[in-house]
Structure 1
Amino acid sequence: MSTEAIEHVDVLIVGGGPVGLVTAYQLARNLPSSYKVKIIEKHSKSAQDNYGRAITLFPRSSEMLDQLGLADELAQQCFACRSTVNYDKNGNEFPGRGWSFMENMKDTKWDFALVLRQKYQEEIFRQALRRHGVELDAPYALTAVEILDNVGPNGYKVVATIEHRNTKVKSAMKCKYLVGADGGKSFVRRAMNIPFDGSSSEDKWVRVDGIIETDLPKPRTYCAIESPTHGNVLWAALDHGATRIGYAFTAERQKAYKEFNEEAAVKEAIASVKPFSLSFKQVDWWTIYVVGQRIARSFLAKDCVFLAGDACHTHSSGAAQGMNTGMHDVVNLGWKLSLVLQGLAKPDLLHTYEAERLPNVQRLINYDKDISRLMTMQLPEGWTGDPNADPNEILGVVMAEAATFSSGLGIYYEPDSMLNLSQSFGLASVQPGQRAPDVPLQKPATFEVTRLQTETPNVAQFYVVLFAGDVAATKPALAAFSDSVATKQWLFESGVPISWISIFSGPGGPSAYETLGGMPFGRVFYDETHVAHERYGVDIKKGAVLVLRPDGWVGTVLMLGAGADVALEKYFKKFLVVGGEAKL
């Protein structure tokens, strides 16, 4: 094929599900219009898409999507689930088991499970992507990948061949980066010869969505029913008035069917929720699948090919983490790829994607192995406790232990020598690598209430946040800080992806300038009741400086005062291209 016929794109994303769409959206939103992003999907997307698949976004996922400007539209259509209930085999409520951890998801305005079926989520993401000038191209399949070893960083290193599924016409393109978000049977993963370690079990689960009638006392909840015949049954209130029933399909029950079809799936769903009655007025979708856990040995190949979502990890739906984990993947990757593509960050930054995400995926796999076995009424592998223990009781313990991980609010990245840099200790209780808590703030003059995450959107830039404390006590430290960072003018140059915020403790006055005795750094907010300083563990008499990463995790913490210039430069120069360094 001639060179003229080859399309050139900066990033090719394979897979048009939520993970691929949010990846493409971030890049289209954060990159200048001169950059080209392309996303392909081998299946046609239409109003006839199946309803089923993923349904739940937990608080941290909602926060991340909110910082990308996507969560409000999801909230318009979702079922906001704040209530859970657990029933024993006799239909009696049994508090503290099942999904009860969901009622303790605090420390965020998104303190609920956002339930919206994947069909509707994808349409919202496609529309948002379209507003940034990128269309999902379908039905196109990736059929070949070649990596050019003689091409340097940010060059067109990937040669991809795609084929139209209907016309069978093939075309070639060159891209700088390739993202495989193409599911558990990922072509990208297989083309790069990346092993997919793990196994599938003999366990099978069934899921049925539809409009129902029932005498279950609390049907519009996330509910668990401890069935003696169908395992720990999932009952999930869905969007648009629908409900999902999920149950274990044991080997014994499989023997009763020559063909397990929709009629059989509904029949077993009705049996699984006994002693409650259930009838389906409408079935939207159903599926049966094998439970297993697998993880790709690498999430990055040849410095230019990434895997995300199910392409690099698969697990059961027992803890409802599939789409949530995929969102964590692509939010972690998106801003890094945006900065490296523009030459604002060093290519080594891309290696932190695997370094940060792989350990968290392994934690999920470990939890999921136990949860999925317990939900099918089996004790975990290697169980050393009472062999006669009630799996439902152990399930409650495991899910409670995993609660902050499941909500996403407790997901952290280990301290390292680059992005999560420990420089000062004892200045704040929130440490590098931890989620930056969302806290209420007040705007100057109007005293309008806002939130920190609202004021720190994910637009591929860092936020230097001065917790300035009580100005009467911290004014000398603020002056020393100001003098210190003034020596590093590159921190304020146009094009450097850094923004500045100052948070003053106490009620706001008529003028931030008069309160401080000079112009504060960046945008000003007030912490009238000290709740923000308290939540971050910052002494209002001393203050502190926290750098927030674009994705909403804390990057580093440093002292408010002299020497801040050295600490900030030490941090940012590890991964940003600054201070006269040559761009790619």
Structure 2
Amino acid sequence: MATTNSHTNSAEYDVVIVGGGPVGLLLAYQLKRFGVLACVLEQYQKEEQDQYGRAIALFPRTLEQLHQLDLIEPMLQLGFACRTSVTYKDGKRILPGRVWNFMENIKDTTYDFVLVLRQMFTEKILREKLTKVGVEYYQGIECVDFTLNESTSLDDYPVASKFVEKVTGKGFELKSKYLIGADGGRSFVRRHAGIPFEGDRSDDRWIRIDGLIETNMPLARSYGAIESKTHGNVLWAPLDHAATRIGFAYTEEIAAKYPGGVTQEVAEKEALESMKPFDVRFKEIHWWTLYTIGQKMAKDFATRDRIILCGDAAHTHSSGAAQGLNTGIHDAVNLGWKLALQIRGITKPEILKTYNDERKLAVNQLIEYDKDISVLMTHKWPKWYKGDPNADPYIILGEIFEKAGSFNTGLGISYPINAVNQTTAAVLNVVPGSRPPDVELTMPGTGRKLSLQDVTPNLAKFWVVVFAGNPVSTKESLLSLRDFLEERDQSFLTREYISWITISAINGYSPYETLGTKPFGDTFFDTTSSAHEKFGFGLERGGILILRPDGLVAHGGPINGQIVENYFTKLFRN
């Protein structure tokens, strides 16, 4: 892995990514996996930055996405899988817990937990992956300028970006088809592109402090909320490597005690105060920070079709719901396959444009509810509250977390009908733009159990899933489907960006015997018929489901070649 730059002025890439945090690294890894040439330039030397801290929680939908990108296993080896939560008030446990209780109710996914892994380790894993797949990654390189020639064609390199090596002062220029700003809340790319960053900053400040801790608090390895009137709704988060994070509000009253400002000693002292009546002792302190709460979002996540923002460069919010890194990863996953298919000349331009619309909608939802969460966690009332001012804000906080449970886990995030998410041709139990249920499938022969995510990895390919039902009627439908598709000049059966699988409701000795004809792609058995039932496909004639590369539902209907042709004709250039 390189840490200095030796580019010439004529260096060209499909994509130049400014920012080597987890979002930029993940996007670069995907683009390489999808056959696109990209490089990452990070202005800091990561080994000299804070070694711990920052984002820690990866929620179920994020874990599913990492699974589909073949990234999850090293993270599972290092992280702490948390499945339980607890809320304490005046030293007593509240049943049920008021804040993180959705963690006990995660269903319909293999990843029924929150993986807690500090950003330092997440970034290290991603950098190692970049090295293995051969992505160019450079540290200590600052972006100082870029220009865009808007009169060029889609296949040209219209973005000219200027960089400076921070140690040597040497400058160089890169040309690219696209420039990605993944360079954080103070994004140079966003500012230089003139994209407004709209929203609010509050006067509220929070402290976060990590380390190895001893305590007499019961359930110390559960995700905890300690309700304090002096330090807000205190976060207790078990971390990787047996560490723990404590987070609390640094109120005006607390700040008044320390006219000299906040130091590590102050952060540690107030962390101990925030946990009373429990006893807490730090054996080691790894990291701490004091930061101001606010919610901001870029007016657009893409401008002039060539400059695109991801992660904190596009939106910032509090850490109250622990959604920052998850939201950035969802940005990168949403953008990765769309950008790759655009660069490879496969999809029409309107497909890439759905990135801006889909992610802005999801981020706006997060910001709206994050505003209330961050205020309530500080033991104050939101402006809209007209109830009893002497009531307990933490009760409302718990209600908001409960209502937003599916959003917190990411499993309930969905997108509206658009160029990718097209209205289905039948009444199904799944909605285009939403996450499909994580059904259990069986491998022929061995009987090994697999999830739908196991058999539909994100390879920048759409997945056509044929649900086969009754052998007699289904055989007829399958033969008709194959005849229809093979008659096309460019068969949808052989295109590199479409993959097929068959899910059979009948459990047989071999796929061919079970179906009575050649299957579409690999075949898996739905031994309990639960997959057909969850998707709304009858066992008599089955149906077709089309999944986006990121695993979301795109379209569906009966086993009919016209369904497939109509859908992909709207997406692809030819």
TM-score (norm 2): 0.96
Distance 1:43 1:94 in 2: 45
Which residue of 2 is the match for residue 373 of structure 1?
375
Which residue of 1 is the match for residue 540 of structure 2?
541
Which residue of 2 is the match for residue 568 of structure 1?
564
Distance 1:177 1:105 in 2: 38
Distance 1:144 1:469 in 2: 58
Amino acid at match of 1:228: K
2:158/2:175 contact within 8 Å kept: yes
Which residue of 2 is the match for residue 480 of structure 1?
480
Which residue of 1 is the match for residue 412 of structure 2?
410
1:94-130 Cα offsets, whole Å, 9 max, x none, are 4231111111111111110010000000000000111
Comparing 52-61 with 147-156, which one deviates more in the overlay?
147-156
Distance 1:541 1:376 in 2: 56
Distance 2:49 2:320 in 1: 27
Distance 1:351 1:165 in 2: 35
Task: Report the secondary structure of 2:254's partner residue.
Answer: helix
Distance 2:495 2:563 in 1: 21
Which residue of 2 is the match for residue 309 of structure 1?
311
Distance 2:404 2:249 in 1: 22
Work out which of the residue numbers 336, 339, 342 in structure 1 matches 2:338.
336
Amino acid at match of 2:454: T
Work out which of the residue numbers 345, 348, 351 in structure 1 matches 2:350.
348
Describe how 1:140-179 pairs up with structure 2 within 5 A: 140-179=141-180
CA 1:168–1:441: 2 relative to 1, 3 Å: same
Amino acid at match of 1:501: I
Structure 1 residue 361: deviation in Å?
0.4
Amino acid at match of 1:431: V
Describe how 1:116-265 pairs up with structure 2 within 5 A: 116-257=117-258, 258-265=260-267
Which residue of 2 is the match for residue 19 of structure 1?
23
Which residue of 2 is the match for residue 582 of structure 1?
none
1:348-387 Cα offsets, whole Å, 9 max, x none, are 2210100111100000001100111110011222123443
Amino acid at match of 1:577: R
1:146-193 Cα offsets, whole Å, 9 max, x none, are 011221213111010011111111101111001100000000000100
2:86/2:93 contact within 8 Å kept: no
Amino acid at match of 1:573: T
Distance 2:495 2:42 in 1: 34
1:198-231 Cα offsets, whole Å, 9 max, x none, are 0100000000000011000111110000011101
Which residue of 2 is the match for residue 581 of structure 1?
none
Amino acid at match of 2:497: P
Structure 1 residue 570: deviation in Å?
1.8
Amino acid at match of 2:264: E
Distance 1:376 1:402 in 2: 19
Which residue of 1 is the match for residue 4 of structure 2?
none
Structure 1 residue 493: deviation in Å?
5.9
Unaligned segments of structure 1, at least 5 residues: 579-584
Comparing 14-23 with 529-538, which one deviates more in the overlay?
529-538
Amino acid at match of 1:554: V
Comparing 37-46 with 386-395, which one deviates more in the overlay?
386-395
1:53/1:117 contact within 8 Å kept: yes
Amino acid at match of 2:34: N
1:162/1:170 contact within 8 Å kept: yes
Distance 1:138 1:482 in 2: 51
Which residue of 2 is the match for residue 8 of structure 1?
12
Amino acid at match of 2:29: Y
Distance 2:13 2:436 in 1: 34
Distance 1:556 1:389 in 2: 47
Amino acid at match of 2:351: L
Describe how 1:499-538 pairs up with structure 2 within 5 A: 499-507=499-507, 509-538=508-537
Q: What is the RMSD of the two structures over their aligned residues, measured on CA atoms? A: 1.5
Structure 1 residue 472: deviation in Å?
4.1
1:506/1:529 contact within 8 Å kept: no
Which residue of 2 is the match for residue 398 of structure 1?
400
Comparing 347-356 with 62-71, which one deviates more in the overlay?
347-356
2:85/2:97 contact within 8 Å kept: no
1:427-486 Cα offsets, whole Å, 9 max, x none, are x20111111222111112222222211111101000000111232453333333333333
1:431/1:557 contact within 8 Å kept: no
Structure 1 residue 424: deviation in Å?
1.6
Distance 1:25 1:4 in 2: 23
Which residue of 2 is the match for residue 276 of structure 1?
278
How many percent identity over aligned positions? 48
Which residue of 2 is the match for residue 28 of structure 1?
32
Task: Report the secondary structure of 1:510's partner residue.
Answer: coil
Which residue of 2 is the match for residue 577 of structure 1?
573
Which residue of 2 is the match for residue 462 of structure 1?
462
Task: Report the secondary structure of 1:463's partner residue.
Answer: strand
Amino acid at match of 1:109: T
CA 1:355–1:491: 2 relative to 1, 3 Å: farther
Amino acid at match of 2:449: V
Number of residues paired by the alignment? 567
Structure 1 residue 329: deviation in Å?
0.3
Distance 1:290 1:422 in 2: 43
